[in-house]
Amino acid sequence: MAVHLVVVQGLWAILPAYASNMLATVVGGGAPVDGGRVWTDGRRVLGDGKTWRAVALAPLLAGLLGLGLHFVAPRAGMGVTDFGPAHWAFVHAYALALGALLGDMGASFVKRRLGKERGARWLGPDQYDFIAGALVLAFLISLITTPFVGYVWFLEAFTLGPLLVIMILTPALHLIVNGIGYLIGVKEVPW
Ligand code: CTP
Ligand code: MG
């Protein structure tokens, strides 16, 4: 299969995760998820960069975007995935989007334990935490939906080619998107 098609398929399938991560910076703010609490090491559990508003709103909006992608998929062609049968599409897209923020929060937890302040740079996890969280949660949820859907949606959408594309292109995309976020002022640091 032509490489450019695989690139489109990979980015298409993971878009709800990217969107959720990006939207979090836009809609985030207010009460922190950790409620300001500190861990046994005296440092914040997650920090002020992880807020309830982002967790509640970003996956919802990104899930709706996924639902939009789902209905556009047949017309888009190029072998892009839908998100399962219509009444499960939002569930699958939402799983990717929520998983992205959970992965991001898991990384913040570890960052704080390593003594890295909010916004400190952590090359590797900063680029991949949300992708890992998105893929893991979407896989688990699609195992749960399998009896209703009739197949494992995750394995249809994330075949080896698209997965490789996501792994290879994510660091570069992350850099570009966060650079733009920094320039337009929604992110405090460009990573
Ligand atoms: N954000 C949020 N809630 C989340 C994730 C992100 O409110 N669950 C918002 C915060 O305003 C955060 C910004 O999006 O500052 C950028 O997210 P991220 O880079 O993940 O957070 P950092 O501030 O860099 O904090 P950390 O060091 O914990 O990654
Ligand atoms: Mg960060």
Q: Whose CA is nearest to atom 13 of ligand 1?
A: 25
**Is the C-beta atom of 101 inside 6 A of ligand 1?**
yes
* Predicted local confidence at residue 58, as pLDDT: 98
151 C-alpha to center of ligand 2: Å? Answer: 36
The encoded tokens of residue 185 equal: 């002022």
Give the nearest ligand 1 atom to 117 CA. 27
Q: What is the pLDDT of residues 22-81, one digit of tens each?
A: 999 999 999 999 999 999 999 999 999 999 999 999 999 999 999 999 999 999 989 999
**Is the C-beta atom of 111 inside 6 A of ligand 1?**
yes
Residue 1's pLDDT band (boundaries 50, 70, 90)?
confident
Residue 177's pLDDT band (boundaries 50, 70, 90)?
confident
174 C-alpha to center of ligand 2: Å? Answer: 11
Closest CA to 127 of 83, 162, 81, 179: 179
Q: Whose CA is nearest to atom 7 of ligand 1?
A: 28
Give the nearest ligand 1 atom to 54 CA. 3
* Predicted local confidence at residue 117, as pLDDT: 95
Give dist(CA 176, CA 141) in Å, integer: 30
Residue 4 belongs to what H/E stretch?
A: helix 3-27
Ligand number nearest CA of 129 is 1
pTM of the full predicted structure?
0.96
Q: Ligand 1 pocket test: which of 52, 104, 177, 182 has the largest number of ligand atoms within 8 Å of its C-beta?
A: 104
- Locate the DSSP E strands across the chain: none
